Amino acid sequence: MPALLVGSLIAGLALSSLDLNGVTADQVSSLVDILLMVFVFIVSVDVGAGLDRRTVSSLGKDALLLSAGTVMGSLMVGLAFSFVPSLGMKGALAASLGMGWYTLDGPLVTASLGALAGATGFLSNFLRELFTFFAYPVFKRRLGGRSSISLGGATTMDTTLTVISAVGGEEVAALSFLHGVIITILVPFLVLLALAILP
């Protein structure tokens, strides 16, 4: 299953190098949005049909623990990268605290710190998402399916939910979505806080 998913991603990348009669990235992005909604609906029906009250309450606690780990990990790496001259503490933390949400982090950092830091914010979060597609099955064997959800940051409620639900099963998929929701709520606050208060 992970091979099929990664293969689909690679096939799409390969097809984009051919002449597609004027098909643009924006047009395909609209299709991605629609398919994302369909996918989230299918996964959520599956999750909803398999969940009882006891499971939800235990998943809620675990989702908070996972989110705390995700934020702490990103914070530590942001501080470690503060020594990169082109970023500084503000740029490094604003990029790392994007936690996979590149469409938000890139523009926010660009507006505040300029093109180079903005490009780093965009690319680092975009690459985090891509990395999760390939790394989740490997990390699941080492750290377990639940802890490895933190790899994906905010993307675990949408795009990387594909790999996580396929490899981890429906209960891990539900936890992954809850984690993604919590991180998605936190990202705008944390990035703006980093940009606003740091020197």
- For another protein, the binding residues in 131-190 under the rule CB under 8 A are 131-133, 135, 139, 142-153, 157-159, 162, 165-166, 177, 181, 184
Say which amino acid occupies 114.
Answer: G
**List of residues 6+ apart from 82 with CB closer than 8 A:** 88, 89, 92, 93
* 99 CB-near residues (< 8 Å, 6+ apart): 70, 71, 74, 125, 128, 153, 154, 183, 186, 187
Does position 198 interact with another protein (CB under 8 A)? The reply is: no
Query: Should residue 195 be labelled a site residue for another protein when binding is judged by CB under 8 A?
Result: no
Nearer to another protein, 68 or 196 (CB): 68
Q: How many residues bind another protein (CB under 8 A)?
A: 100
Residue 162, judged by CB atoms within 10 A of its CB (0-12, 13-18, 19+), counts as buried
- Find the binder of another protein among 19, 21, 37, 199 (CB under 8 A): 37
**DSSP 8-state assignment for residue 81:** G
Q: How far is the CB of 111 from another protein (least distance, A)?
A: 14
152 burial level (CB within 10 Å; 0-12, 13-18, 19+): buried
Q: Which is nearer to another protein, 50 or 196 (CB)?
A: 50
C-alpha 46: how far from its chain's center?
Answer: 22
In whole angstroms, the minimum distance from the beta carbon of 197 to another protein comes to: 20
Question: Which CB sits closer to another protein, 45 or 196?
Answer: 45
3 sits near another protein (criterion: CB under 8 A): no
Residue 141 or 196: the one with the smaller Cβ distance to another protein is: 141
DSSP line for 111-167: HHH-HHHHHHHHHHHHHHHHHHHHHHHHHHHHH-TTGGGGGGGGGGGTTTHHHHHHH
Site for another protein in 72-131 (CB under 8 A): 72-74, 76-78, 80-81, 84, 86-87, 92, 95-96, 99-100, 115-116, 119-120, 122-128, 131
Closest separation in Å from C-beta 105 to another protein: 11
CB of 156 to another protein, least distance (A): 10
